[in-house]
C-alpha cells in the first residue's frame, strides 16, 4: 500500500468476515495537458492549489507531476473543509476561484469569489458555480481566464475612450466651437470607436488548438 501511494495511487483494503482479503489500487489519470495548463495559470500570476480527499502521499505525487508546489497541496479534505479553506484564503485578502465537478465541491464553489464547474460534472456543482466550462479538458480553464481578462481590459479601454471624448467634446460644444451637426457626427464616431474596440475581442485566440466555446 505504501508503494502504491508513493506512485500516486489510492490503496483500498478489501475485507470479508472480519479478515483482510486483499487490496486494490485506484489511480486517476492525469490529463496530458494538465501540466501545461497549470504552468499557464501560474504564468498569468495565479497560485494554483490542489484540494483533494485523497491521502497526503498520493496528492503530493500527483501535484509534483502537474507542477503544483507541495505547500499548496491540501489532502484528506472533507467537503465542508473545502469551503473553510476558501474562506480562510479570502480572509487573507485573496480572491479565490474554485474549480470542481462533484457534489462535494458545491459548498466551496458557492463560497468562492468565482466558482467554475467543469463539463460532465454534477448538476448541483453547475448550479452552485458562476461559470460552467462547456469544453472538456483543463485547457478550457486557461482560455476562460485569458478571455475574461481580455474582456475586462476592453471594458476599461471603452470607459476611458468615452470619458476622454466627453471631457474634450462637451466644453467645445458649450463654447460654441462645434456646430450641431459636428457634435452629432462626433457622437456617432465615439460610438463607432467603442463598438469597434469591443469587436476586437473576436481576434482573441485560445492558447489551445481547440476553439473557445
The residue segments making up the domain with residue 151 are 141-203
Residue 57 and residue 104 in one domain = yes
Determine, yes or no, domain membership for 173. yes
Q: How much is the pLDDT for 207?
A: 55
Measure the CA dihedral 134/126/78/84, to 10°: 110
Domain final position from 138, 155, 176: 138
Q: How much is the pLDDT for 162?
A: 82
Strand partners, 10: 26
| Count of CB atoms situated within 10 Å of the CB of 49 | 18
Residue 108 and residue 146 in one domain = no
Residue 44 and residue 93 in one domain = yes
N-terminal to C-terminal alpha carbon distance within the chain: 42
Q: How much is the pLDDT for 213?
A: 39
How far is it, in rounded angstroms, from Cα 213 to Cα 207? 13
CATH number at residue 102: 3.40.50.1000
- Report the number of distinct structural domains present in the chain: 2
Angle, helices 139-174 vs 34-43, to 10°: value is 30
Q: How much is the pLDDT for 212?
A: 42
Under-70 pLDDT residues of the chain: 206-213
Determine, yes or no, domain membership for 161. yes
Q: How much is the pLDDT for 19?
A: 92
Residue 127 and residue 164 in one domain = no
- Between the alpha carbon of residue 139 and those of residues 41, 46, 201, 208, the distances in Å are 10, 15, 19, 7
Question: What's the pTM value of the predicted model, to 2 decimals?
Answer: 0.72
Q: How much is the pLDDT for 82?
A: 92
**Phi and psi at residue 167, to the nearest 5°:** -60, -35
**What HEC string does the chain produce?**
CHHHHHCCCEEEEEEECCEEEEEEEECCCCCCCHHHHHHHHHHCCCCCCEECCCCHHHHHHHHHHHCCCHHHEECCCCHHHHHHHHHHHHHCCCCCEEEECCHHHHHHHHHCCEEEECCCCCHHHHHHCCEECCCCCCHHHHHHHHHHHHHHHHHHHHHHHHHHHHHHHHHHHHCCCCCHHHHHHHHHHHHHHHHHHHHHHHHCCCCCCCCCC
Amino acid at each position: 500500500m505504501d508503494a502504491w501511494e508513493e506512485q500516486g495511487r489510492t490503496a483500498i483494503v478489501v475485507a470479508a468476515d472480519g479478515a483482510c482479503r486483499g487490496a486494490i489500487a485506484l489511480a486517476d489519470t492525469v490529463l496530458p495537458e494538465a501540466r501545461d495548463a497549470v504552468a499557464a495559470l501560474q504564468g498569468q500570476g495565479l497560485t494554483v492549489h490542489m484540494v483533494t480527499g485523497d491521502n497526503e502521499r498520493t496528492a503530493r505525487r500527483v501535484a509534483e507531476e502537474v507542477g503544483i508546489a507541495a505547500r499548496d497541496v491540501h489532502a484528506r479534505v472533507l467537503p465542508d473543509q473545502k469551503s473553510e479553506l476558501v474562506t480562510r484564503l479570502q480572509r487573507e485578502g485573496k480572491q479565490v476561484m474554485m474549480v470542481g465537478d462533484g457534489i462535494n465541491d458545491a459548498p466551496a464553489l458557492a463560497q468562492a469569489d468565482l466558482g467554475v464547474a467543469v463539463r460532465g460534472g454534477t448538476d448541483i456543482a453547475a448550479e452552485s458555480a458562476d461559470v460552467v466550462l462547456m469544453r472538456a479538458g483543463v485547457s478550457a480553464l486557461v482560455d476562460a481566464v485569458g478571455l475574461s481578462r481580455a474582456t475586462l481590459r476592453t471594458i476599461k479601454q471603452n470607459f476611458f475612450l468615452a470619458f476622454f471624448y466627453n471631457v474634450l467634446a462637451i466644453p467645445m460644444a458649450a463654447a460654441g466651437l462645434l456646430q450641431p451637426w459636428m457634435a452629432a457626427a462626433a457622437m456617432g464616431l465615439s460610438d463607432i470607436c467603442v463598438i469597434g474596440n469591443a469587436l476586437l475581442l473576436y481576434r482573441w485566440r485560445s492558447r489551445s488548438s481547440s476553439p473557445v466555446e
